Structure 1
Amino acid sequence: MRAYGFTAVGGPEHEAFLDVPEPVAGAGELLVRVLAAGVNPGDRRLREGAHGVEPPAVLGREVAGTVVALGPGTAGFAVGDEVFGGCPGMVGGWAPLARVTASFAAHRPVGVSSVDAAVLPVAAGTAHDALTGLDLPAGATLVVNGAGGGVGVAVVQLAAARGLRVVGVASPAKHDLLRRFGTVPVAYGTGVLDRVRAAAPSGVDAVFDLVGGAALRTVASLVGDRSRLRSVADKPLVAELGGADVARDRSTAVLAELARLVAAGGLDPHVTRVVGFDDARAALAAVERGHEAGKVVLEIG
């Protein structure tokens, strides 16, 4: 079958359409005919050698589609089910057929499109797990550093639904969007600590970072208790600062809850670009530039 991936570790020049065998569902896996697949910064990192994925490999870590075959140990699913979920090894989704981990898959509810469902496992799933790990009480103040990206937009919505006060650090172009989701936006750059403190005069209870580097080091000073500091952008630095990475759940229960929120209107996956499969290179390039206002989806089926 025709799939999109990379032939060598490195830059986008190594991306290509590949001719690969059709996958077979293994133990604990569903074989899914893919309708839509999410495009994430993590796909770029895989191409650059993250997680030790050996090329040639098919990109794509999250999909939505129709179950066409079941591996052993997949109770609760049947051929013909409309599902969404994560791909084993974080690869394989940008193809007409993909393996999906049954324990990280859920049924797609009526009223939730395959395009919206396809982007829930990575961004919204990470946001959900970050908030679960922080376990903040209603009324607490959370600073989201890099609130305008895919994970950021999800976490500010989920935080607001938990009754948290949210201050989002983001570029000014994304401030109106953050306000729409109940977040107080502040701009990056010199003086960011003063702007955050003005927006949160009662103090900051936790920080969730999606930027890393010097920006993470700066906002870390907002919390005295570094156990309330999380980052998915710079694992070595957040550990040095006394915080932690986000412990991922990757369960059916989390995905089902996220889909329920989407169906009820409590979570907007914020897909702003849907790209045909033939334009997979352009889709990843758009995400790699980092200026997308929302989630990008490949429509494959």
Structure 2
Amino acid sequence: MAKAYVFVRHGGPEVEALVDREPPRPGPGELLVAVRAAGVNPVDHKLRGGYRRPGQAPAVLPEVFGSEAAGVVLEAGPGVTGFAVGDAVFGSTLTGGYATHTLLPAAVAAHKPEGLSFAEAAVLPVAAATAYDGIRQLALPAGATLLVTGVGGGVGGNAARLARHEGLRVLGTASEGKREYVESLGVTHVAPGPGLAERVRAVAPEGVDGVLDLVGGEHLRAVAELVADRTKLVTAGGKQIVAELGGSPVARARTAEVLDAVAALAAADVLRPHITAVYPLERAGEALRAVESGHARGKVVIEVAP
């Protein structure tokens, strides 16, 4: 019998449970994977609370937590090519990652490079791929100045590494407690809060050439004025208000090609995931609390024993 960590209805932590279930069966174009590791992301607890992504079907309860995972192929569904039983793979899940077994869409899955652990591969589809898509969308030339709001999180750290790799000067907002980590990325730390725009101007009098926002709300409004070309204002945190500011949301590609690209960058230590906490599946609730608190540094991972 397989195990999975689920929410049985919408609500808070009280609706979570570790349950036994039959492993899912792969349909056409799907891979059945024995999960070795799963990433924990803020969207996980938001979905528990009732949030659905645009176009996402209503939840079928109980719903398994987790949108990204890495593991070993147990079975390939009809029509699958390029993958075989025993392959180490990673990708975005169809049936949740906090589980011993999950389904991945073969069209949006990738082989895990030998140089990456399962834990490292598991956290690439959300944070690293979002950062990759955002930096590609901004398309700033080497030498340009980029401001990343919320740079201390999983997406922000990856965006900073990739931007620095491409020769950009990077400024980043993060709490004082994350200053040391932010500066270790080669990023100029800027404290958030009232007066943010003035503090950015103090360290970049010439202005910024682009903004990658990962916070939204008033934080996004405060930094929008810093970039003259609003096509260079891109957000993964303020999708509801970015249009009125002249910017746009991060356009997620969600392709196998992007996963292959971020995996190659991770194996080359450009986007090496910053994993700060690892929990077994039996303590998935603790892992989720660590992210839900908003104070997690880097990435939190759930490891599933083989």
Aligned to 1:191: 195
1:168-247 matches, cutoff 5 A: 168-247=172-251
Aligned to 1:40: 41
Secondary structure of 2:114's counterpart equals coil
The CA distance in 2 between the partners of 1:136 and 1:200, in whole Å, is 16
The unaligned stretches of length 5 or more in structure 2 are 53-57
Secondary structure of 2:78's counterpart equals coil
Aligned to 1:157: 161
The CA distance in 1 between the partners of 2:78 and 2:232, in whole Å, is 40
Note if contact 1:103-1:250 (Cα within 8 Å) is conserved in structure 2: no
Note if contact 2:128-2:271 (Cα within 8 Å) is conserved in structure 1: no
* 1:122 maps onto 2:126 in alignment: yes
Aligned to 1:108: 112
Aligned to 2:152: 148
TM-score by length of structure 1 reads 0.96
* 1:21 maps onto 2:25 in alignment: no
Aligned to 1:273: 277
Higher helix share: 1
Secondary structure of 1:237's counterpart equals coil
The CA distance in 2 between the partners of 1:74 and 1:137, in whole Å, is 39
The CA distance in 1 between the partners of 2:273 and 2:15, in whole Å, is 30
Q: CA deviation at 1:78?
A: 0.8
1:6-85 matches, cutoff 5 A: 6-51=7-52, 52-85=58-91
Q: CA deviation at 1:232?
A: 1.4
Output the amino acid matched with 2:265: L
Deviations 1:181-203 (A, max 9, x none): 11111111122112211222222
Output the amino acid matched with 1:261: L
The CA distance in 1 between the partners of 2:60 and 2:201, in whole Å, is 46
Secondary structure of 2:248's counterpart equals coil
Deviations 1:62-110 (A, max 9, x none): 001000100123211111100111112xx41111110011122111111
Output the amino acid matched with 1:43: D
The unaligned stretches of length 5 or more in structure 1 are none
Q: CA deviation at 1:39?
A: 0.4
The CA distance in 2 between the partners of 1:219 and 1:73, in whole Å, is 47
Secondary structure of 1:65's counterpart equals strand
The CA distance in 2 between the partners of 1:219 and 1:10, in whole Å, is 33
* 1:86 maps onto 2:92 in alignment: yes
Single out whichever of 235-244 and 142-151 deviates more from structure 2: 235-244
The CA distance in 2 between the partners of 1:48 and 1:243, in whole Å, is 28
* CA root-mean-square deviation: 1.2
* 1:133 maps onto 2:137 in alignment: yes
The CA distance in 2 between the partners of 1:78 and 1:14, in whole Å, is 37
The CA distance in 2 between the partners of 1:72 and 1:127, in whole Å, is 33
Note if contact 2:29-2:79 (Cα within 8 Å) is conserved in structure 1: yes
Note if contact 1:231-1:245 (Cα within 8 Å) is conserved in structure 2: yes
